[in-house]
Amino acid sequence: MRTHQIVTLLVFLAYFAVGWAVVDDYGITYDEAVQRRHGHVTVTYVADALGMDHPPLDTEGRSFSEYGMIFQMVATLIEIQLGALDDPYQYYRIRHVLGYLLFGIALYFFYRTLRLRWPATTWYPLLGTVMLMLSPRILAHAFFNPKDHILLVFYVVATYTLARFLKHRTYAALAWHVLATALALNTRFPALTLVGATVAFLIWEQVFDRPGNVKRIVQVAIYLPATLLCMLPFFPYLWVDTGSRLTGAISHMSSYTWDSTNLLFGDSLSAVDLPAYYVPAWILITTPLVYLLLLFTGLTRTITASLRHLRQGKLWSDYSSQLDFMHLGLSLAPILAIIVLHSTIYNGWRHLHFIYPGLIFLAMSGFAWLHSRYRLPAALLLALGIVGTAVNIVRMHPLQQVYFNVLVGGQLTARFDMDYWGAGYREALLQLAEQVPDGATVRVKCQNWPCVDNINALPPAARAKIIHEPDWGKADYVATNFMYPQESVDVANRVLMFAHPAVELAPRGDLVVGIYHNQ
């Protein structure tokens, strides 16, 4: 093996080893219980439809999810196999391990995509993969995000199969892309961007490059129905009344209503009427600064090159520039679609994390251009970015989901949605458990649901010390992630219970989660 292959193998081994060592550090989020129940409903439906026996699952009063459940179905089957149906610590751990493993798969296919782009520059693919791996928010969500990051994984895989198909143009390559697209659509319908990109590439080439050759029209005619047919086995919701359910789910995705607000720069913004700058702003303030500088360079170079090629009646000049253009479209099109459709976005920009690998690809394109002209400064810049980000990841562990870069600072708790999913409760509860003597118990009042789920899913030793107490008058402590605006004011002034902290988590100086004596 060559040196870069050995180093690449060691990097991936380190990724999986570190993940296994720290998986228990990450907490439970709002969506995990909901998604688990969706999985149970789906598995029950499939088993009953196929006449298969199954143990009783939590389905009472639960709806049939209108999007694909492949991740939750697999996780539920593992739960059953390991006998973990009644053990929150185990069944959430199963999902965190599975999610992290899937992100490892995404890293592998991202590496393969970079290899297609830079086959002769052996270190570039590894550097780009490390940038994606060492992205604080993306890394944290890899453990506990049960839906948005599953889309990220399969979006990356399908991006690779599209890149490979564009290179080889064989029907075997098309078949792999059909399967990868179907799996991506099974996770979330924003993956329709991949369908649009594939068809657009083939139609453009048919019209402008090969007008007398109908091969690309034939490939489109195969790709679209084959993708739908491959999606159906993994999408039980569509087994009945396929057409209306499919169109209804897609329509619901683009017009979903969530009656709440998102906090950005101190402004409470309606989730159903977000300004056009909302997603770009979140990308700007949560992407490591060096990565951001390289991304701007790559974006500028790719857009400039595309405009230059367009004046010549084409959009790219060779395979490499075609891959750059492809990633530009797959990354920017979802942002533009959300702006044009006025789609609802929950706190932060996790709904669009699936475009982040494409942004890193463009950042690597920017680095390649800089490195070809300013070899040592460009290398030092990237090294500084990777090492600095790695240091931040270690310092913030296990709360990387609230990472912000240096473009913002000061009083973040009152200006931005921080740990809105409640994953940080676990670390706070574990620290509280360390303060409780063995054999003793304390009662904790939770300000919202993730805290309750995190109590139930604590490791056995800590779980034995903490009891969830819904009654304020009986609680010894109150736990909060500061989702109520008044709490940010009160904790800043140290009034009421906030004058008596038991545990406070403040990575980089900004409060994320706190547990306070109930006095």
Residues 6+ apart with CB under 8 A from 505: 399, 424, 427, 428, 431, 511, 512, 513, 514
Measure Cα distances from 8 to 3, 103, 111, 361 in Å. Answer: 9, 16, 10, 17
Beta strands at 513-517 and 501-505: parallel, antiparallel or unpaired: antiparallel
d(CA 383, CA 252): 44
- pLDDT attached to residue 509: 87
pLDDT, tens digit, for every residue of 77-86?
A: 999 999 999 9
CA–CA gap between residue 382 and residue 128 (Å, rounded): 10
Which tokens sit at 227? 């993708």
Residues 6+ apart with CB under 8 A from 107: 12, 15, 129, 132, 133
pTM of the model: 0.95
Q: How many residues does the chain have?
A: 519
Buried/exposed 433-444: b ≥16 CB within 10 Å, e otherwise: beeeeeeeebeb
Residues in contact with 271: Cβ distance below 8 Å, sequence separation at least 6, in sequence order: 258, 259, 260, 261, 262, 344, 345, 346
Asked if residue 286 lies in contact with residue 405, where contact means CB atoms within 8 angstroms, the answer is yes
> Average pLDDT of each block of 10 consecutive residues along the chain (519 residues)?
91 97 96 92 90 84 78 95 96 98 98 97 96 98 95 98 96 97 94 96 86 86 96 88 84 70 92 92 97 98 93 90 97 94 88 97 98 96 97 97 91 90 97 97 96 97 97 96 90 93 93 94
Contacts of 354 (CB under 8 A, 6+ apart): 148, 149, 151, 152, 155, 156, 188, 190, 191, 334
Listed residue (212, 149, 158) closest to 185, CA to CA: 158
If you count DSSP H runs as helices and E runs as strands, how many of each does the chain have, helices first? 21, 7
Phi and psi at 263, nearest 5°, equal -100, 120
Residue pair 403/415 in contact by the 8 Å Cβ criterion: no
**Rounded Cα distance, 363 and 143, in Å:** 24
Can you tell me the distance from the alpha carbon of 205 to that of 200, in angstroms, rounded to the nearest whole number? 8
**Could you give the CA distance from residue 276 to residue 291 in angstroms, rounded to a whole number?**
23
pLDDT at 62: 67
* Strand pairing class (442-446; 477-480): parallel
The domain spans of the chain are 28-390, 417-517
> pLDDT of 404-444, one tens digit each?
999 997 789 889 999 999 999 999 999 999 999 999 999 99
Strand ranges (E), 191-322: 261-264, 267-270
- The reported pLDDT for the residue numbered 365 is 97
Task: Check if the beta carbon of residue 326 is closer than 8 Å to that of residue 166.
Answer: yes
- Position 241 scores a pLDDT of 87
Strand partners, 442: 466
pLDDT at residue 61 in the model: 63
DSSP secondary structure string for all residues of 110-121: HHHHHHHH-SS-
